[in-house]
A and B are shown apart, each in its own frame.
Chain A
Amino acid sequence: MARVHLSNVDKSYGSIKVVHGINLEIEDNEFVVLVGPSGCGKSTTLRMIAGLEPISGGEISIGDRVVNNLPPRHRNISMVFQNYALYPHMSVRENLGFSLKIAKQSQAEIDKAVDEAAQILSLTEYLDRKPGALSGGQRQRVAMGRAIVRHPEVFLFDEPLSNLDAKLRTQMRTEIKKLHQKVKSTIVYVTHDQVEAMTLADRIVIMRDGYIEQVGTPLDVFETPVNTFVATFIGSPPMNLLPGRVMNAQVALDGGPVVPLPDQFVGKVKDDQAIILGFRADNLMPVGYSMPMEGTHAEFDMNVNLSEPLGTETLLFGSLAGKEVMAKMLNPRPVKNGERLPFLLDLTRCHLFDADTQQSLR
């Protein structure tokens, strides 16, 4: 059980800096997910915590120890790799017990720990197989088993589900969540999949180009993104962003309708300020097919160019202010392409970003 503390951690390869002085405090037993597009430095950060990558500057501590220069074996961590990295020449049993064998534990202790881990992950019947004879999901479980068998202070997961098919991924996601509840340990998890991040994390760390953009609970980052990057990265479909300008306590979208300034931004914007209006598809719905909207809302007509029925709802692609925007239709009826419908925009759930800095004006 341990906290992980990163302060001003830098990483450069030669003259190229890939991680820029990040600060992060991970609490004991917390499930933290690092998420971001590829090349954002999330995996590098994880590998620096693991000790597989030396850090170029700053300080990393696990528990009360500064681990900057400790090799991985002295950090009391375990890690699940994207490609599992199971030892192909050992049986599942030997794979699971390898770390304990290296630690020179007695065979009886090893057997006990291996059986326990196998039980948790329902691997008991596969213990004598080689990794080559296992399916993808089973290999994934062995990799997790190898991690839990030593009861480390911190678990590190490096995109562990990205090699699985969609169905298995959802299943394993649930298993990882259950595992966290069972083993009660600090987990740092790297993924590029924002759905994984949202469903698993106690807190999400969104990274871009080696910087941390925002840290917060899944709902925090979903509901109050600090900038347009987070707004479009978190949530599916991504948030609609429309450029506009503040005029007389109203927002005039460039080449589009004028909507009232959302209450939550009154006093936070200047007149004639260039802004970006952000809203999710869930907050733009056709009249008669929407959730009840309590607060202020705007109403305007929009052409629907394309519809994607999803069953309980339909995704509508329309054009507003010269941009493509996505809307949702509840209890849907078939929509013809090119049909013009009246839409309601829930202003209480809208976001305003500064057009220059892309930062939230909240």
Chain B
Amino acid sequence: MNENLKHRIQARILKIAHFVALFIAMAIICIPGLWIVLNSLRPTVEIMAKPPVWIPTELNFDHYVAMFSGVGEGGVPVLQYFTNSLIISVTSTLIAMLVGMAGGYAFARYKFKGKAVIFIGLMLTRAVPGVALSLPLFIVMAKTGLIDTHLGLILVYVSLNVPFTIWLIDGFFRQVPHELAEAAEIDGCTRWQAFWKVEFPVARAGVASAGIFAFLTSWNEYALASQLTRSTFSKTMPVGLRDFTSEFTINWGGMCALAVLMIIPALILTFLVQKHLIAGLTFGGVKG
């Protein structure tokens, strides 16, 4: 009896500890984000207050209004930056996914000479810190006239993302049993149809997650973009954040407002694709 009670108490304590630990972890992840949202909505005085004001006294959209107004009134070309970001991220993601699908499928399904070496080589490119590439990239882009263009950044992001998408998509195609494509071929499909009608739909969770990762990488990338863009016509939103810093002051409120605008599309995309990410799609068709 006593023993039972002891175990019950232990189980409950463990459960509470679990909850507390989870809460702390989530707080660490979420509070900076929430702080940005909060700061974008309150006056600069309150942002800079020491000690920090946790519960805001006044919330308004002043920073957003200012951001969208003219240059003299603290405005920045938000729409232009947004368009730049969108063009660059979407195009580079699409290309990275196409290449990633072709490459991932090849690595998952075919045997060819030097397969392991090529694969390791691709992975090694991930070991190079992005910033280390900035100077060589700058020189190459400057010589080829690609500096300060959409195309330049798109190329950079494609090359950054392709090894990763190949690796991720390869893993997902590996999980798709090759008998599925064979069954499709026997059912009358060409190799190409078998891929698009059977293997791709089954692996689409993986392709979708590769897409999200590629998109977020290009959407959020700052270090290289800040080197390779000059003007309003190619600056992406992360680089645009710097417009709020001047020689002696930083407009934290404005910066936070732009940051919130940056987060929103990424969040929307993640929610949209989320349902494809649900695993378990490959189970059932083939006896496990």
Interface residues of A (CB under 8 A from B): 50-52, 71-73, 77-79, 81-89, 98-99, 102-103, 130-134, 136, 139, 146, 150, 163
> Nearest chain A CB to B260's CB is how many angstroms away?
37
- List 28 contacting pairs A-B, 8 Å CB cutoff, sorted by A: A50-B182, A52-B186, A71-B185, A73-B186, A73-B190, A83-B179, A83-B286, A84-B285, A86-B286, A87-B183, A87-B202, A88-B281, A88-B284, A89-B201, A98-B184, A98-B197, A102-B187, A102-B188, A102-B197, A103-B188, A130-B284, A131-B284, A131-B285, A132-B284, A132-B285, A134-B284, A139-B284, A150-B188
Chain A residue at smallest Cβ distance from B282: A88
A79 and B284 form a contact (CB under 8 A): no
Q: Residue B155 at the A interface, CB < 8 A?
A: no
Chain A residue at smallest Cβ distance from B191: A71
Give the complex CA separation of A102 and B201 in angstroms: 16
B286 and A72 form a contact (CB under 8 A): no
Known contacts A71-B185, A102-B189, A103-B188; decide if A87 and B287 are in contact (CB<8 Å).
no
Given contacts A98-B187, A131-B284, 6 further A-B contacts (CB under 8 A): A72-B186, A73-B188, A78-B186, A83-B179, A85-B182, A103-B188
Write out, one digit per residue, whether chain B residues 258-288 have a CB within 8 A of any chain A CB (1) or not (0): 0000000000000000000000111111110
B202 and A89 form a contact (CB under 8 A): yes
Q: Which residues of A contact B183 (CB under 8 A)?
A: 79, 81, 85-87, 146
> Nearest chain B CB to A187's CB is how many angstroms away?
15
Q: Residue B180 at the A interface, CB < 8 A?
A: yes
B189 and A88 form a contact (CB under 8 A): no
Q: Which residues of B contact A73 (CB under 8 A)?
A: 185-190
Known contacts A88-B202, A89-B202; decide if A83 and B287 are in contact (CB<8 Å).
yes
B285 and A86 form a contact (CB under 8 A): yes
Known contacts A50-B186, A103-B188; decide if A132 and B283 are in contact (CB<8 Å).
yes
Q: Residue B47 at the A interface, CB < 8 A?
A: no
Q: Which residues of B contact A79 (CB under 8 A)?
A: 182-183, 186
Known contacts A52-B182, A99-B187, A102-B188; decide if A85 and B285 are in contact (CB<8 Å).
yes
B283 and A88 form a contact (CB under 8 A): yes
Among B190, B198, B283, which residue has its beta carbon within 8 angstroms of that of A87? B198
B284 and A99 form a contact (CB under 8 A): no
Interface residues of B (CB under 8 A from A): 177, 179-180, 182-190, 193, 197-198, 201-202, 280-287
4 pairs of A and B residues whose beta carbons are closest in the complex: A132-B284, A88-B285, A99-B187, A85-B179
A89 and B177 form a contact (CB under 8 A): no
Give the complex CA separation of A78 and B183 in angstroms: 8
Give the complex CA separation of A79 and B183 in angstroms: 7
Q: Which residues of B contact A81 (CB under 8 A)?
A: 179, 182-183
Give the complex CA separation of A87 and B204 in angstroms: 13
Chain A residue at smallest Cβ distance from B178: A85
> Nearest chain A CB to B226's CB is how many angstroms away?
43
> Nearest chain A CB to B188's CB is how many angstroms away?
4
Give the complex CA separation of A150 and B187 in angstroms: 9
Q: Which residues of A contact B186 (CB under 8 A)?
A: 50, 52, 72-73, 77-79
B185 and A72 form a contact (CB under 8 A): yes
Of A71, A150, A163, chain B has the most CB atoms within 10 Å of the CB of: A71
Give the complex CA separation of A35 and B273 in angstroms: 48
> Nearest chain A CB to B288's CB is how many angstroms away?
9
B285 and A87 form a contact (CB under 8 A): yes
Among A50, A84, A146, A150, which residue has its beta carbon within 8 angstroms of that of B287? A84
Known contacts A73-B190, A102-B193; decide if A85 and B185 are in contact (CB<8 Å).
no
Chain A residue at smallest Cβ distance from B179: A85
Give the complex CA separation of A146 and B179 in angstroms: 14
Known contacts A83-B179, A84-B287; decide if A89 and B185 are in contact (CB<8 Å).
no
Give the complex CA separation of A51 and B194 in angstroms: 15
Of B184, B201, B202, chain A has the most CB atoms within 10 Å of the CB of: B184
B287 and A139 form a contact (CB under 8 A): yes
B287 and A163 form a contact (CB under 8 A): yes
